[in-house]
Amino acid sequence: MTKVADTARGVLQGENADELKHYYYQMLLLRRFEERTSEMYVKAKIGGYCHLNLGEEATIVGLMAALKPEDYIFTNYREHGYILARGVPPGSIMAELFGKEGGVAHGRGGSMHLFDAEKHFMGGYAIVGGQVPLATGAAYALKYQGKPGVVVAQMGDATTNIGAFYESLNLAKLWQLPVLFFVVNNGYGMGTSVAMGSSEPDLWKKGASFRIHGEQIDGTDVLVVRDAVRRLRERAEKEGEPAILDLISFRFRGHSVIDADRYRDPEFVRKGRETNDPLRNFAALLHEHEIIDDAWLKATAERVDKEVQEAIDFANASPEPQYEDLFAFMYATQVPNTPGPEDALRAVKINRGEA
């Protein structure tokens, strides 16, 4: 096990300028999408729970830059940015948050259950740790079928205290599965600090008893994240070696949109946003190497603002799911005695007291 020093910051030799600019664009798109998502939640356009990726843009973009189309990803409920960076159109995602038919899951999933099989994005999971055994099973399926690719099990820091996490580690190493346990460590599991919730606060060490390699890196540097994932991904695919990647990040807001974040000192949050802002830091780096200028930053901001507004407009215009489709998508394939449209309408009438 190793704690990897941050080596990418400030070192851009051999990097493609267009790729670097695209990373910034993606991070800004995630930032603006989540900021407008918070706004839409306050306006009651979005219901239920809603967890934002604000401050975690470099973690997300770095991961997705390292993955290949044949790879799979399972996430927790804080997944808006991951599916956006995976290439799903912003409008389809926002429509899903609105619960509309035009959403990526036809309005059935909402904020915590985004899903796109074509992009190998296998859903967000509201149960803490619920995605980890499934991701491990998917990695077993890849190996069993002799297919290329790896599986990423994304999770928050508190998930590493769940029993299913350790069961998955055991099987992943025992069967030499191509899976990467991607721990977004923002220091708090809801309102409890890592140190208060885990007897081993160095989360990258938690695979030691299973002989699983672990690393801790700077999750606020998109290049550090990309390079680490690329290296561990290749190792997992070629050698069947799972790994734990502990990414130190900074969550700008509380656990969810409705979390007042009173458990963190306001000065700590202010300083964290100032020093750990991946957008500001990456823009400064690109400026320093004369890859971008103020005019490009302004044009990119205008482009992103337009795209996010178009996503909101698409979501607003998208139709509501129809009552007769209440039982649609219950099964992946048609099975006998599946309730149909008439059954759905009957259920609606019973619920309304009309039957």
Q: For residue 197, give its domain range.
A: 2-321
pLDDT score, position 1: 38
> For 255-283, what is each residue's pLDDT tens digit?
999 888 889 899 989 998 889 999 999 99
Q: Strands of 243-248's sheet, edge to edge?
A: 2-3, 213-218, 243-248, 179-185, 151-156, 72-76, 121-125
| Whether the Cβ atoms of residue 99 and residue 287 lie closer than 8 Å to each other | no
Structure tokens that stand for 69 in this block: 């189309």
Structure tokens that stand for 296 in this block: 């490009």
Q: Identify the three-state secondary structure at position 189.
A: strand
Strand partners, 181: 153, 244
More confident residue, 167 or 337: 167
CATH number at residue 11: 3.40.50.970
- Domain presence at residue 353: no
Return the closest-CA partner of residue 110 out of 123, 122, 121, 120.
Answer: 123
- Domain presence at residue 330: no
> For 150-204, what is each residue's pLDDT tens digit?
999 999 999 999 999 999 999 999 999 999 999 999 989 888 899 899 999 999 9
- Domain presence at residue 335: no
Phi and psi dihedrals of 189, rounded to 5? -100, 100
pLDDT score, position 8: 46
Return the closest-CA partner of residue 65 out of 122, 1, 10, 8.
Answer: 8
> For 48-94, what is each residue's pLDDT tens digit?
999 999 999 999 999 999 999 999 999 999 999 999 999 999 999 99
- Calculate the CA dihedral of residues 235, 236, 241, 245 and round it to 10 degrees: 90
- Domain presence at residue 127: yes
Q: 11-20, 45-54, 201-210, 291-300 — which is least confidently predicted? A: 11-20
- Domain presence at residue 329: no
Domains contained in the chain, number: 1
Q: What is the mean pLDDT of the chain?
A: 93
| Whether the Cβ atoms of residue 73 and residue 86 lie closer than 8 Å to each other | yes
Tell me which DSSP letter residue 203 carries: G
- Residues counted in the chain: 355
Q: Identify the three-state secondary structure at position 153.
A: strand
- Domain presence at residue 328: no
Please report how many Cα atoms fall inside a 13 Å half-sphere around the Cα of residue 324, on the Cβ side. 2
- Domain presence at residue 226: yes
Please report how many Cα atoms fall inside a 13 Å half-sphere around the Cα of residue 209, on the Cβ side. 9
Indicate the pairing of strand 188-189 with strand 192-193. Answer: antiparallel
Q: Is the pLDDT of residue 324 over 90?
A: no
- Domain presence at residue 43: yes
**pLDDT band with cut points at 50, 70 and 90 for residue 96:** very high
Q: Which residue has the tokens 């202010």?
A: 270
Strand partners, 124: 75
Cα–Cα dist 172/298, whole Å: 46
pLDDT score, position 11: 65
First-residue to last-residue Cα distance in the chain: 64
pLDDT score, position 230: 98
Structure tokens that stand for 30 in this block: 């995630």
> For 117-127, what is each residue's pLDDT tens digit?
999 999 899 99
Cα–Cα dist 221/22, whole Å: 15
Rounded to two decimals, the pTM is 0.91
Q: Which amino acid is at 350?
A: I
Q: Identify the three-state secondary structure at position 44.
A: coil
**pLDDT band with cut points at 50, 70 and 90 for residue 212:** very high
